[in-house]
Amino acid sequence: MQKYTILIVGGAGYIGSHMVKMLAKDGHRVIVLDNLSTGFAEAARFGEKLIVGDLADESLLDQLFTDYQFDAVMHFAAASLVDESMENPAKYYRNNVNNTLNLLDAMVKHQVLNFVFSSTAAIFGEPDYTPIDEGHPKNPINPYGASKLMIERMLEDYAAAYGLNSVSLRYFNACGADPEGELGERHDPETHLIPLLLQAASGRRESISIFGTDYPTPDGTCVRDYIHVVDLCDAHLKGMGAMLSGQLNRANAFNLGNGEGFTVREVIQSASDVVAADDKQIKVLDESRREGDPATLVATSKLANAVLSWHPAHPTLQGMIADAWRWEKGS
């Protein structure tokens, strides 16, 4: 297999660090750029070099693309908290949109024309139907989703004007951890359901709350998509490969989901089953609904299956949680 030189922006974060490890394990040369605002330097250790810097620094980007002959760029460096984006939209438009524009301009200047973008299913807003496919109307309801949609539109324009090839991957909930236990999820503050459950099991927090038990779903709790972080990285890898092989050009976008989703209670039950093997329990509190939580958010991956030959290798909820629990116990 041909070996490439890849720039991973945000490679010290949760998904980015798993991507760095996967690429390095395949023998590619991996350079990481991360400002470490939410990432951890040691998480990027599988790459050849970590450059601590920000996409706002245009001179740094120019020097970086001068020093290395990149074959492709992967971008994981977005701010991604919905609530924060409502309170501080300027941060999201500045970091997600302006800084990505700087990156794309550097790529075009140095003729690095293959880009994999970690987008989000939040670009769709409240779903008109589920599972959500690529043709679903795009109507984001928060600045986070709006900023990602702006970038996707920029990629379409850069493809038409400058020949930039791109693959945007839209998904809801990354979960799990490196099956070898070397990497995992560690946000501060933590907002994702599965790590919150496991922190309650390990004693790092007292309880976990269910926000709303009266939704029109099988058990009254919200339904969400979950995809193992390793499977997400595999989708990024396949997207990059499709561009570098000439299979894909211009701007492309794929939804990634399990097609069915899991209720909050199903996730809690699976987590309880996993931690019971270590004689741990999870205290659960029922609380009222949060504003803006749709009942069901589930995406279909049929297009990614067909075009990228992408199929999740870790489809079971219990398996995803077991990997995350291994990381939680060791972290």
Contacts of 111 (CB under 8 A, 6+ apart): none
**What range defines the domain where residue 217 resides?**
175-224+259-298+314-330
Nearest of 10, 14, 28, 15 to residue 256 by alpha carbon: 15
Which pLDDT value is given to residue 241? Answer: 97
Residue 306 in any domain: the answer is no
**Judgement on whether residues 169 and 179 belong to the same structural domain of the protein:** no
**Judgement on whether residues 209 and 249 belong to the same structural domain of the protein:** no
Task: Tell me the C-alpha distance between 155 and 248, whole Å.
Answer: 14
Nearest of 108, 89, 119 to residue 239 by alpha carbon: 119
Beta carbons of 27 and 84 less than 8 angstroms apart: no
**Judgement on whether residues 108 and 211 belong to the same structural domain of the protein:** no
Which residues of the chain are modeled with pLDDT < 50? none
Element of type H or E holding 29? strand 29-34
**Judgement on whether residues 130 and 61 belong to the same structural domain of the protein:** yes
Which pLDDT value is given to residue 172? Answer: 87
**Judgement on whether residues 118 and 202 belong to the same structural domain of the protein:** no
Beta carbons of 26 and 89 less than 8 angstroms apart: no
For the record, the structure tokens of 25 come out as: 């394990």
Q: Domain with 142 in it: what CATH number?
A: 3.40.50.720
**Judgement on whether residues 11 and 100 belong to the same structural domain of the protein:** yes
**Judgement on whether residues 53 and 169 belong to the same structural domain of the protein:** yes
Place of tokens 């949760």: 14
Which residues are the active-site residues? 144
Q: Give the chain's radius of gyration (CA, Å).
A: 19
